[in-house]
């Protein structure tokens, strides 16, 4: 293996323990980099949220694949690639944002904008230890992706109009909307290729629905023991829970530590 991609929430960050990276995990990733194995992040998070996460303070990686593959950043934050919502999909999201019948968060090049307040919005962002986006007017910026918050019945009509997009639930009441073809695996492939690495020479670690493509497509996919049943089914190996040394045990299992 020449590289490893790590999801953040539930894989690196243990929210049950207060949103921290366990020390054995930090040391394991440092050891990988010392051995010349690239360490990448692959997350549904956006760059604004990353900056707020206390648990990632001082954490370094060779690259960051964010927003389910839409944005690639280098080690020092430089933009390596970026994709946006465009065409009819963008217009559908903007119409819903303006009508405010459904809670919509726009993730733009300048920040996060919610179209209204709501219990589902607050609960979703509290669960991932992230400040709730404030209601603001859209300022005609490029949109990386959108997040919809609400019960399934509330969102069903809008979801029906977005079938061309990549739709990924990260809670039962929250899902991300990415451009067609937007997924973690595509972003991981693009990031790896910039370093002359094929996806077959990569490991991927994840726990949730938005990790399925990279767990299936990487050379080795590892699901956390605390992960969803879908993630476990997609993986080549199921390791221990995040708080039981899951990442370390998987790396040891494959002889990388």
pLDDT band at 111 (very low <50, low <70, confident <90, very high): confident
CB 144 within 8 A of CB 70: yes
pLDDT of residue 57: 87
pLDDT, tens digit (0-9, with 9 covering 90-100), for 21-80: 999 999 999 999 999 999 999 998 888 788 888 889 889 999 999 988 999 999 999 999
pLDDT of residue 75: 94
Task: Pick the more confident residue, 179 or 245.
Answer: 245
Q: What does the domain layout of the chain look like in residue ranges?
A: 3-83+182-253, 87-178
* CATH class in words for 87-178: alpha beta
Q: Which residues pair with 10 in a beta bridge?
A: none
Residue-wise over 69-91: b if at least 16 C-beta within 10 A, else e? bbbbbeeeeeeeeebbbeeebbe
Residue 73: what are its φ and ψ, rounded to 5°? -120, 145
CB 187 within 8 A of CB 204: no
pLDDT band at 161 (very low <50, low <70, confident <90, very high): very high
Residue 81: what are its φ and ψ, rounded to 5°? -160, 155
pLDDT band at 242 (very low <50, low <70, confident <90, very high): very high
Give how far Cα 174 sits from Cα of 23, 119, 122, Å.
30, 12, 11
3-83+182-253 classified as CATH 3.30.470.20:
no
Summary mean pLDDT of the chain: 93
pLDDT, tens digit (0-9, with 9 covering 90-100), for 172-224: 889 999 888 778 999 999 999 999 999 999 999 999 989 999 999 999 999 99
């Amino acid at each position: 293996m020449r590289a490893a991609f790590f999801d953040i929430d539930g894989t690196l960050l243990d929210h049950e323990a207060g949103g921290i990276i366990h020390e054995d995990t930090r040391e394991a990733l440092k050891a990988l980099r010392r051995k010349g194995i690239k360490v990448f992040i692959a997350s549904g998070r956006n760059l604004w949220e990353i900056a707020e996460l206390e648990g990632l303070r001082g954490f370094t990686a060779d690259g960051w694949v964010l927003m389910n593959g839409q944005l690639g950043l280098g080690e020092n934050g430089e933009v390596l690639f970026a994709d946006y919502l465009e065409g009819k999909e963008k217009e559908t999201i903007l119409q819903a944002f303006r009508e405010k019948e459904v809670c919509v968060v726009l993730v733009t090049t300048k920040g996060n904008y919610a179209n209204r307040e709501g219990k589902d919005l607050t609960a979703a962002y509290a669960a991932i230890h992230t400040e709730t986006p404030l209601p603001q007017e859209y300022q005609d910026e490029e949109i990386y992706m959108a997040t919809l918050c609400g019960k399934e019945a509330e969102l069903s009509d809008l979801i029906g109009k977005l079938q061309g997009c990549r739709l990924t639930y990260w809670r039962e009441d929250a899902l991300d909307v990415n451009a067609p073809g937007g997924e973690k695996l595509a972003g991981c492939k693009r990031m790896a290729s910039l370093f002359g690495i094929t996806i077959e020479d990569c490991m991927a670690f994840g726990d949730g629905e938005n990790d399925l493509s990279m767990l299936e497509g990487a050379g080795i996919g590892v699901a956390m023991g605390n992960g969803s049943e879908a993630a476990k089914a997609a993986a080549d190996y199921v390791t221990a829970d995040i708080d039981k040394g899951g990442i370390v045990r998987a790396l040891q299992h494959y002889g990388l530590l």
